[in-house]
Amino acid sequence: MAVLRDGRVMAFGTMGGDAQPQIQSALFTRHVLYRQSLAQAIERPRWYLGRTWGSNTGNLVVEETLDGNVIDRLLSAGHDVSLASAIGHAGALVRHPDGMLEAAHDPRADGGAAGL
């Protein structure tokens, strides 16, 4: 959960094993610093660096939806890159200072966000 200086309160979380802190950092950065909507911040391709549960390696894992040019450049720079179809499942809710609620769910999983 984050309480922002502009009065927004953001609650967010993700599945994803040991990659959770990296997924949460990306989601937070995209929404708060780059002003992407929650839906955009959650939908964008993910990655994590390091070993996560069930994995024997500690390489860079990126989702297949990441721009292929970026993947090619990472490989040609010598990075050990693996592709994944999906990394984690995230959800978030923001309460804006005017009382408006903004919510989003991850298209990588079933579930949803709906207003009441």
Q: Tell me, what CATH number does 44's domain have?
A: 3.60.20.40
In a domain, 78, yes or no: yes
In a domain, 80, yes or no: yes
Rounded-to-integer distance, Cα 87 and Cα 101, Å: 26
Rounded-to-integer distance, Cα 92 and Cα 63, Å: 20
Structural domain boundaries, residue 57:
2-105
In a domain, 116, yes or no: no
In a domain, 20, yes or no: yes
β-pair partners for 105: 91
Closest among 43, 18, 53 to 106, alpha carbons compared: 43
What are the tens digits of pLDDT across the range 95-116?
A: 999 999 999 999 999 887 776 5
What are the tens digits of pLDDT across the range 78-96?
A: 999 999 999 999 999 999 9
What are the tens digits of pLDDT across the range 2-55?
A: 999 999 999 999 998 888 999 999 999 999 999 999 999 999 999 999 876 666
Work out how many domains the chain is built from and give that number.
1
Q: What is the pTM of this model?
A: 0.86
